[in-house]
Amino acid sequence: MSAEATNPEARPDARPELRRRGRTRLDLRRLGRAALLGPTSRDRLPDAIGHVAEAHRAHHPDADLSILHRAYVLAESSHRGQMRKSGEPYITHPLAVTLILAELGAETTTLTASLLHDTVEDTEVTLDQVRAEFGDEVCFIVDGVTKVEKIDYGAAAEPETFRKMLVATGNDVRVMSIKLADRLHNMRTLGVMRPEKQARIAKVTRDVLIPLAERLGVQALKTELEDLVFAILHPEEYENTRALIAAHAGERDPLPAIADSVKAVLRDAGIAAEVQVRPRHFVSVHRIALKRGELRGSDFGRILVLVGENADCYAVLGELHTCFTPVVSEFKDFVAAPKFNLYQSLHTAVATPEGFVAEVIVRTRQMHRVAEAGVVALGNPYAHAAAEAAAAAESGSPADAADCDEERVDPTRPGWLSRLLDWQQSAPDPDTFWSVLRAELAQDREITVFRADGGAPGTISLPAGASCIDAAYAQHGEAAHGCIGARVNGRLTSLASRLSDGDTVQLLLAQDASSGPAADWLEHARTPAARIAISRWLQAHPDSVKPTTAPARAPLSVVGARGGGGNAVADLPDATVRLAGCCTPVPPDAVAGFVVRGGAVTVHRIHCAAVAQMRALGRTSVAVHWRATADCRVTLLAESFGRPHLLADLTEAIARQGVEVVSATVEPPVEQRVRHTYTLQLPDATGLPALMRAMRDVPGVYDVRRA
């Protein structure tokens, strides 16, 4: 709770170069570094609300400030006489929280609620008074923050505590934004608390609030919270990092010269851009030191290039990679594929002739604003839904108004907060919810896969490492219990297969409504939605759990007369020619032959893995050509779903093409999928494509390919 926070004593080792130098607006990042290296001043603000108003107008020039003044008057009069543990008037806390949000660009409603966020909890002010004076929206947010403040966090990362906090937010990201700013100010002012209490608060911040800041994209808050937690929980590593940064401050920094070179390159190319050197925060420097060992001058910061349009980002990238030596492994495109928390930028690294490697971030100014402030930069994300609800109410349609009211979902892609609220209702217990949630919070990269059926939406966003099982539950919900297979990029694959960014996925559902997931699905599901749904089904159907291994049955085989080399001829007199069973070449495949034991020549397709192995062993290939005759032998694999009469229907389809079955093998079903292997004698190799199409047209067959 905010009432616990105190102010630290001034520290004499504060670096003067980090203080404000004649700036009219406060720099949140600079204030954060000053909070770590020592506060610069404890002077009172000359005008209690003036800095908030100034910061707010910088982002919203036309904002009506009268509501902020009224909120301040109510907050100041309500908190009058209350003191923080540092001895300062309590009103300094809501003012500081509001200033943090104003610097991030929060809209007026959020700032008003921030000024009042402790009044209902700590004073005689009631929610009805807030509603009467400032409206329903401000009252809604204040109520949500009050519920969050009443939660006793107790042990760090306590599952039930986190679950309560999610419910208390009322499904409004602005509640969380205020809570994050509230915690940031409290973390800045932990100095006079007992070390054990500092550690407890820091652990909760690390386990709960920093992942939330990351998910909401509020990087300015997240990075400063990380540094403050780092200083408390890892004091030795923090002091080592502090010493590294201090030592670097006395050395020549190569980044300004590299930035000047980048400016010159872009100016010559006619690209209007702003180039800055951005110092890394403490935790970032610590991570780089662990990764690279000894740090060089260019490792203490990055170059930021700001442009006007998305196309300019790629123009800058082209110039950088043309005029400097790019480090290809460092390139990441988050413009075409934004991260889960709205983040967009191009990341690259370039090497200079002097041997320095500089990381470069390229983004538009709007991307930069969102990268720093996340959902706070979106203004009021619920304004559109509120306008629709008001219009529906005026038209006298209560049903429409109710529908609009349900639109209060978070604006982040793809609705993460809304899903969290669904998960906490579905999870059987807090520990289950917490275990799957921690895995979700730990994800720092998403992939996007495309639906092959063309349905809306056309894409599915999943965490990196997700499987076809996750895609099934993301697309079909509980109907995914009946999923029995998937085609990825046109090829039939198992549900356990991991997906890659850009894959096209077609999910195949069983016709049997009683179908359910196998127990081993939990081993391959990565998303909370999938894991919770699978666990609930397995608990509700304990007698219906599928075996995780196939029954021990021998495959059914049908063998006919086998031929030899077909119409392949080796350029080796009197040699016996055999077509390799591993790749079964047919005309007009490019082939190679190798002499094996007994003097026979085995013929492989040129791209067969056995060819590479033979050549690696130093075996000399024998030239092979095809006879003018058109007949050939080929082995085909057919993958299908099990059903009665499937083997008969496939055999009939093959016979209708005039093809002889030399041998056939049917493997036991696994997850209702059956694999057939046919060795076939074709009267004409040109008929192979038509044969494969005929086999694919058999109901239940989803893939036919050469062995």
As annotated, the active-site residues are 121-122
What is the CA angle 482-484-486, rounded to 5? 120
What is the pairing mode between strands 504-509 and 446-451? parallel
Distance CA(437)–CA(444), nearest Å, equals: 13
228 CB-near residues (< 8 Å, 6+ apart): 35, 36, 184, 187, 188, 190, 202, 205
Q: What is the sign of the dihedral through the CA atoms of 495, 501, 506 and 511?
A: positive
Cis amide linkage into residue 39, ω under 30° from 0:
no
- Tell me, what DSSP letter sits at residue 8? P
Q: Hey, is 166 helix, strand or coil?
A: helix
CB 462 within 8 A of CB 470: yes
Q: If you search the block for the tokens 């809570």, which residue do you land on?
A: 179
What is the CA angle 33-37-39, rounded to 5? 85
Distance CA(693)–CA(674), nearest Å, equals: 18
Q: Hey, is 5 helix, strand or coil?
A: coil
Residue at 176: amino acid letter:
M
CB 295 within 8 A of CB 244: yes
Give the residue among 404, 398, 356 at the shortest CA–CA distance from 384.
404
Distance CA(461)–CA(439), nearest Å, equals: 16
Q: Compute φ and ψ for 573, nearest 5 degrees.
A: -55, 135
620 CB-near residues (< 8 Å, 6+ apart): 594
Q: Compute φ and ψ for 601, nearest 5 degrees.
A: -110, 120
Distance CA(423)–CA(477), nearest Å, equals: 12
Q: If you search the block for the tokens 């010159």, which residue do you land on?
A: 264
Q: Which residues pair with 357 in a beta bridge?
A: 351
CB 499 within 8 A of CB 525: no
Q: If you search the block for the tokens 């929060």, which residue do you land on?
A: 106
124 CB-near residues (< 8 Å, 6+ apart): 78
Q: Hey, is 66 helix, strand or coil?
A: helix
Most distant CA pair in the chain: distance in Å? 109
Q: How many residues does the chain have?
A: 707
201, burial (CB in 10 Å: exposed 0-12, middle 13-18, buried 19+): buried
Q: In 511-552, which residue ranges form alpha helices assigned H by DSSP?
A: 521-524, 528-540
Please count the other Cβ atoms lying within 10 Å of the Cβ belonging to residue 566.
Answer: 24
| Tokens, residue 390 | 């008001």
Q: Hey, is 317 helix, strand or coil?
A: helix
CB 177 within 8 A of CB 218: yes
Give the residue among 163, 152, 54, 706 at the shortest CA–CA distance from 427.
163
- Tell me, what DSSP letter sits at residue 379? -
